[in-house]
């Protein structure tokens, strides 16, 4: 390899590095929202993150909720379906210990292993400014318990298999 060719390669790599650094996108602030958000606004330096989750009294109960829940997102703009997302495409984030916000709510068994798993999806195709509709569908396919006693009858609460959410969230995407 000649010196001239070597210097050209170095110059090209420096120019490429500068261009990549100049075009590097700044980190966007996440805007987390649940199926019940109703309406949200996403600004130029933000990213929409669809989110839902569960809390329970043990890892096993938490895994049951995850295994028996169907999550589907459908993103529309002007009544045109732009994107369909299944639960497998999102990410489950576990908190190994979770304290329920209301201190009167306790786990019924002696071992207190409260857990919280949150499902996040951050790759919504909100590519241009405008108004989007996100159908958020969440269904529990089997009867479940979470180990809590919200109705305070001394027994774990039982949740039948049911649709937990079939809601529409309106997303306003502002100009960049």
| Tens digit of each residue's pLDDT, the chain (176 residues) | 577 765 666 666 665 665 555 555 568 899 999 999 999 999 999 999 999 988 888 888 889 999 999 999 999 999 999 999 999 999 998 877 667 777 777 788 756 678 888 999 999 999 899 999 999 999 999 999 988 888 888 888 899 999 999 999 999 999 87
The residue assigned the tokens 């908190």 is 95
DSSP 8-state assignment for residue 4 = H
Burial grade of 74 (CB within 10 A; 0-12, 13-18, 19 or more): middle
Domain ranges of the chain: 27-173
Q: What is the pTM of this model?
A: 0.77
Q: Is the dihedral of CA 166, 169, 170, 174 positive or negative?
A: negative
Decide if 174 contacts 44 (C-beta within 8 A): yes
């Amino acid at each position: 390899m000649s010196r001239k060719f070597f210097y050209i390669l170095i110059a090209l790599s420096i120019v490429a590095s500068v261009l990549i650094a100049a075009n590097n996108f700044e980190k966007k602030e996440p805007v987390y929202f649940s199926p019940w958000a109703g309406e949200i606004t996403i600004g130029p330096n933000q990213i929409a993150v669809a989110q839902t989750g569960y809390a329970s009294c043990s890892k096993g109960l938490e895994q049951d909720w995850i295994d028996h829940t169907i999550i589907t997102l459908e993103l529309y703009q002007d009544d045109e379906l732009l994107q369909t997302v299944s639960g497998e495409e999102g990410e489950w984030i576990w908190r190994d210990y979770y304290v329920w916000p209301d201190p009167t709510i306790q786990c019924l068994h002696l071992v207190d292993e409260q857990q919280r798993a949150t499902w996040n999806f951050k790759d919504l195709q909100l590519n241009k400014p405008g108004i989007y509709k996100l159908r958020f569908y969440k269904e529990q396919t089997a009867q479940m318990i979470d180990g809590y006693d919200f109705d305070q009858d001394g027994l774990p609460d039982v949740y039948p298999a049911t649709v937990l959410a079939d809601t529409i969230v309106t997303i306003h995407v502002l100009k960049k």
